[in-house]
Amino acid sequence: MMDTFAVSILFFITSIDTILLMRGVIQNYGYSLGTLLNGLIFLLMGILHPLYSYLMDAFTALNGIRMTLGLILLYFAVRMIGTGEGSMHRSHSRRPFLLLLLTLAWIDIVTSIDTMILVSHASPSVGVTVVGNLIGTGMLIAFAPILYRWLESAPWLQLWVAGYMAYTATIQLRHEPLLQPFQFHPLMFHLLGLLMIVIIGLYGWSRMYRSSMK
């Protein structure tokens, strides 16, 4: 019971950036987050997530995969700050629904590498992982409206989410097979991650400052 609770809390905390990005994509694709999309997100993150989490353990052992996913995640972090991907401004043109689903699935995969690693170490069994993911996803969807309101009322939270994503993208490189021959000290990746947080923060702050001056 305690293992399931721990996995659900871990999943909730490490997936906040994912649910915020999904919200932004849904709005920017011209849709609203109603019962249907909430159900699809629950299906995607709560049920399918453990499946491809298991597959990704083997997939990320291939050369260059972690580096590629890290760069994509860094792109999402910069895009969140640069174009307001995490905002709630709705697009007037609606894109195909299938494209939306594929984009949400892609975001979940890319932003969940850190979650996969942490949950795989914290969970003693597949059953605990599945139930923990279901509970954690339910908590995310339940608390999502509060998170969205915080994001709109406090733009600096967007900087925090983007900075966390940039840090996660950098930390992924610790286990990149292509970098193993160089034997970099693990501390270097943490320091690089902190540097990325600073860079993302300064970039986001400068954009908010310029916007306030208009």
Burial of 34 (0-12, 13-18, 19+ CB in 10 A): exposed
Task: Determine phi and psi for 201, rounding to 5 degrees.
Answer: -60, -45
Residue 89: pLDDT band (50, 70, 90) is: low
Q: Is the pLDDT of residue 179 over 70?
A: yes
- Domain parsing of the chain, residue ranges: 2-213
Q: Is the pLDDT of residue 86 over 60?
A: no
Stretch among 14-28, 46-60, 140-154 having the lowest mean pLDDT: 46-60
Residue 63: pLDDT band (50, 70, 90) is: confident
89: tokens are 């401004």
**Cβ neighbours of residue 118 closer than 8 Å, sequence gap 6 or more:** 10, 14
Stretch among 63-67, 79-83, 126-130, 166-170 having the lowest mean pLDDT: 79-83
The pLDDT tens digits of the residues spanning 123-139 come to 777 778 778 888 888 88
Q: How far, in Å, CA of 56 to CA of 46, rounded?
A: 16
Which has more pLDDT, 168 or 118? 168
Residue 92: pLDDT band (50, 70, 90) is: low
Which has more pLDDT, 51 or 92? 51
* Per-residue model confidence (pLDDT) at position 195: 92
* Per-residue model confidence (pLDDT) at position 88: 46
Q: Is the pLDDT of residue 9 over 80?
A: yes
Span between the terminal Cα atoms of the chain, in Å: 53
- Whether the CB-CB separation of 14 and 118 falls below 8 Å is answered with yes
Q: What is the mean pLDDT of residues 103-109?
A: 84
* Per-residue model confidence (pLDDT) at position 90: 54
The pLDDT tens digits of the residues spanning 180-206 come to 888 888 889 889 989 988 988 888 888
The pLDDT tens digits of the residues spanning 25-58 come to 888 888 887 778 888 888 877 777 767 666 766 6
